[in-house]
Every structure is written in C-alpha cells, then in structure tokens.
Structure 1
Amino acid sequence: MTPENLFISQHHQLIWGTIVLSVCAIIHVGFLAIMVEALAKMGDWVERRTRFMRTALLTGAAFAMIVSSHTIQVWLWAYVLIHMGAFDYLYNALYFSLVTYTTVGYGDVVLPVEFRVFGAFGGVTGILCFGISTAFLVSLISRLLPRSIE
C-alpha cells in the first residue's frame, strides 16, 4: 500500500468510524428516551406493588433495554466490519466487535492493518455508551433506593 493510499484509507476510516459511532449514539440515546417513557408509564402500575417488586421491575426493565441497545450496537459493528471486508466470518466479526466494544481487547483476533483506525472507533463507542448507561442506571437507582428504604 502506498503512502497516498494509506492516507486515503485512514481518512475513510475516520469518516466511517465517526458515522458508525454516531449511528450507535443515536440508537443508544433513542433507547434511553424510549426507556424513560416506558418507565414513566410503568410508574403508576408499579406504585401499587411492593417495594421489592417496584425496584426489581423498574431496574430490570431499564437493564433489559440497556443490554438490548448494546447488543444491537455490537451487531452493527460486526455487520459493518464484514461489509467493509475486514472479516469473512460472522463469528469472528461478532467476537471482535464485542471484545472491542467492551474494551476487553484480548488481541487473539485482530483487524488487518488497513482497518485498525476504524476498529478503534468500536472501543470509543463502547466507552461512551457504557458511560451513559452507567449514569442512567445510577440515576434510576438513586431515585428508587430512597423509596425502597422508606
């Protein structure tokens, strides 16, 4: 690969990495917005339940939505990696996407050199979305916990 092609390749990786990261952010924020509405609607129904049930149902629903959002994002990264030609097999793409998104990064499956900048965006996406998820759950639990203790 010539230096000119490498520059163009890196430029495209930055653009496509930014696009996929942005789509994932939209998905995640969308799931959180839907979750706020769903939790508000569940609020009246769970208010008549025991403290344990209220806490378990609301936290469980939020957790399920967050896990669903992260799962969709990992699948999206895997699909894009296959579409771009970085992997031939879905298993490898999913495994790499999950390990990168969670920032575990075992290193047993690596991207070809020409996709590494793009692949790093998967880790950035995971860090940002896990941060938002953590903040959301902390906020939810901090609102539920005092009510559960009373």
Structure 2
Amino acid sequence: MTPDTLAMSQHDQLLWGSVVLSVCALIHVGLLAAMIEALAHIGRWVKNRSRMLRTTVVVGAAFVMIVSSHTIQVWLWAAVLLNMKAFDYLYDALYFSLVTYTTVGYGDVVLPVEFRVFGAFGGVTGILCFGISTAFLVSLINKLLPKSLD
C-alpha cells in the first residue's frame, strides 16, 4: 500500500462495493426505462417504413443506448477507483474497470490487496447489468419478429 492509498477494511469494501453496484443498477434500470419511451417514439417515427428498416432502427437504437449505459458504468467504476487512490492513472483505472466489468479479467493490471473485495463488485455489476441488457434485447426482438415465424 502506498502512502496515498486509502486503506479499506473488508467491511468497508463490502459496503462501498454494494453502494457503487447499487448506483450502477439504478443508472442501468433508469436508462432502460427511459429507453422504452425513446424506443416507442422511434417506433412511431419508423412505423410506415419497411419491416427491415423498422427492425434495424429500433434494435440499433436500443443497442446504442445499452452500450452507452454500460460505458457510463465502467467510467463510474474507474472514477471511484481513482478517487479511492487504488490507481494512480486514469488509463489503469479505466482498463481495470472495463476488464473487470466485462469479466474478462486478464490479470495484467490488479488492485492492491486492500481493494480486491471492492473491485470484485465491478464484475458482479457487469454480470447483472449484462443479464438485464440481454433480457431487454431478447424481449425487444421477440416483439419485433413477425408472427409468421412462430
């Protein structure tokens, strides 16, 4: 631990990991809820277009919004890690956050021991939010598929 690193007990790591995870969940669910309104508006805008164009525009817009939500969360994790002085450089914090959030976990950049439990919450956040995103996209595509394919 460097002198500038904020020491965190396991209790603190569990608490603050849960807080950041909860904030990310609220961001994700809030953006998905807003997305429903936006997609309804987009759907009305492309209503009289071809089925292929409607599907492409609606699913594409949903995809961009979902990727934006995940990106915001990765940046949030990186900002928190920088603020807690777990990393000295934005690049390292952002890289670690992205690799952890996506559960790729290369292991080439690791947290100091006193942040590892906290950092694991980044992976939990990614798993949960990717699950919600997948369910959202599957539901949307099921709505868009023509009934003749049933």
Normalised TM-score (structure 1)? 0.92
Specify whether residues 53 and 132 from structure 1 end up closer, same or farther in structure 2 by C-alpha distance, changes over 3 A only: same
> 2:21 matched to which residue of 1?
21
Aligned length in residues: 144
Unaligned runs of 5+ in 2: 2-7
- 1:51-99 CA deviation, whole Å, 9 max, x = no partner? 1110000000000000000000000000000000100000000000000
Amino acid at match of 2:141: I
Specify whether residues 74 and 32 from structure 1 end up closer, same or farther in structure 2 by C-alpha distance, changes over 3 A only: same
Amino acid at match of 2:44: D
With 124-133 and 37-46 compared, the bigger mean Cα shift is at 37-46
> 2:120 matched to which residue of 1?
120
Q: Following TM superposition, by how much is the alpha carbon of 1:148 offset from its aligned partner in structure 2, in angstroms?
A: 9.0
Unaligned runs of 5+ in 1: 2-7
After TM superposition, where is structure 1 displaced by more than 3 Å over at least 4 residues in a row?
none
Q: What is the RMSD of the two structures over their aligned residues, measured on CA atoms?
A: 1.6
- Where is the helix percentage greater, Structure 1 or Structure 2? 1
What CA distance in whole angstroms lies between the structure 1 residues aligned with 2:147 and 2:71?
Answer: 31
What CA distance in whole angstroms lies between the structure 2 residues aligned with 1:76 and 1:66?
Answer: 15
Aligned-residue identity in percent: 78
Specify whether residues 148 and 109 from structure 1 end up closer, same or farther in structure 2 by C-alpha distance, changes over 3 A only: farther
What CA distance in whole angstroms lies between the structure 2 residues aligned with 1:20 and 1:106?
Answer: 22
Q: Following TM superposition, by how much is the alpha carbon of 1:147 offset from its aligned partner in structure 2, in angstroms?
A: 5.9
Q: Following TM superposition, by how much is the alpha carbon of 1:46 offset from its aligned partner in structure 2, in angstroms?
A: 1.0
> 1:108 matched to which residue of 2?
108
What CA distance in whole angstroms lies between the structure 2 residues aligned with 1:136 and 1:46?
Answer: 20
Specify whether residues 147 and 45 from structure 1 end up closer, same or farther in structure 2 by C-alpha distance, changes over 3 A only: farther
Amino acid at match of 1:128: L
What CA distance in whole angstroms lies between the structure 2 residues aligned with 1:143 and 1:108?
Answer: 42
